[in-house]
Structure 1
């Protein structure tokens, strides 16, 4: 029996949709996987260090958490490739925790979503892309905010996708970067509970100390590859502060606030 044009079209559409989402999935994806999701420069790497150090201290594991080891302990998502089947540090009792910057994905059944004030995100992302030469040194910040791929519209699309598209059965837990800065012990404790570990407060404090921006800056200098050192001008860990877009001019700040106001209000940001 010959398939109708509409049937063939739907099959093609379903195939392309599946490929789109599987680009941000490991090939050996498991329902139990926990995805640590954020828009770039929203604190994802810092949270990875916090989680890894909390697990390390809890289990008394003798392994340094640095910019080399973190990708083995809490790897970034690699589409169409396999990741180690065990959880962090090879622990089978823990689910894998996988870093991702992807927009909404229906195959992410357990997601920890990290959101940061878009005004600070734009500034941090701008300097990051300049440091790794993905935009020119003299590229204006104002133009960056309007950039189709990196700018504020991209932030809005990414963030709203996680608030408006979630299907039944998916678990998405929201954490704000600013609350991690203000109350790191409380926030890290809540996050670790979601992962399935109740960590003593003294161990949370130790994990936070190990993950300080000073220690992370030192680690970046010591453990990045020669290749990264050649292409990256500066330190991956910049100010790591809550400034509400302090470096922005009034006009740029107003543009960001206007474009993000609807989703920002839902999240809890009041401009």
Structure 2
């Protein structure tokens, strides 16, 4: 068994929020942790800095398969970079690209999978990637979906929202902690405590209260407004948008809701995301 715990999610599903909570819980400070210092406790397996030493040419000149072939070495280097458990952010689905595994399971000890209603994901994702809503719906429904290599990150292989979520939540061994974004909003103490227990962190109610408060959406949004956020997309004016559930009901057209349900019915049903009118 390895020492990597994957912090996995489809983009715009709450990965950053969960990392901010854990950053505050681990730091256990009277003041909120700097969201631009998440790298103190978490690695990002797609960060270009891990890949540049392995190649002679510009990463952006490499095709997706070549990038994926570098991932095993990168992940081994990440695992070796720290003693003990290291939590590593990933947006790749749990599988292979052209027969090349996207995650080295030999150095993996577990995973945290954050799942969010795709009806809300599509709104944040459209803003993040500079798409209109219909383009974002198509993006989320394709198993060929991925992101390109840029100055900061190498290409990711996302697959569709359904394929991605199913891949990270199928484990029945107890090695994966599955968190619904909506549960974290509705009952933060219950579900963030589930996360700290999964990771074997100290059980401390006051520490939990403080970490939840320090990582509240309003605090994160204010921090970004004052200091910026390194993970903000150049396509968007801000990373932290609204942080609410059911935003879709105010924005999506009925035909758009139906398209998403048609594309993702099985997994949406499993996580109780299908609106009554579309059942």
- TM-score, scaled to structure 2: 0.70
1:186 aligns with 2:190: yes
Query: What does residue 214 of structure 1 align with?
Result: 218
List runs of 5+ in structure 2 lacking aligned partners: 47-70, 95-102, 147-157
Distance in 2, matches of 1:194 and 1:229, equals: 29
Contact (CA 8 Å) 2:120, 2:246: kept in 1 or not? Answer: yes
Query: What does residue 235 of structure 1 align with?
Result: 238
Alignment match of 1:198 (pick from 202, 206, 210): 202
Moved more, 108-117 or 37-46: 108-117
Structure ranking higher in strand proportion: 2
Query: What does residue 144 of structure 1 align with?
Result: 136
Show the 5 A alignment for 1:53-132.
53-57=24-28, 60=29, 65-78=33-46, 79=71, 80-81=73-74, 82-83=77-78, 85=80, 95-104=85-94, 105=103, 107=105, 108-130=108-130
Q: 1:71 to 1:269 in 2, by over 3 A?
A: same
List runs of 5+ in structure 1 lacking aligned partners: 1-29
Distance in 1, matches of 2:45 and 2:27, equals: 22
Moved more, 114-123 or 30-39: 30-39
Distance in 2, matches of 1:66 and 1:262, equals: 39
Distance in 2, matches of 1:43 and 1:263, equals: 18
Offset of 1:115 from its aligned partner? 0.5
Aligned-pair Cα RMSD in Å: 3.0
Contact (CA 8 Å) 1:53, 1:210: kept in 2 or not? Answer: yes
- TM-score, scaled to structure 1: 0.72
The structure having more radius of gyration, on CA atoms, is 1
Offset of 1:237 from its aligned partner? 0.4
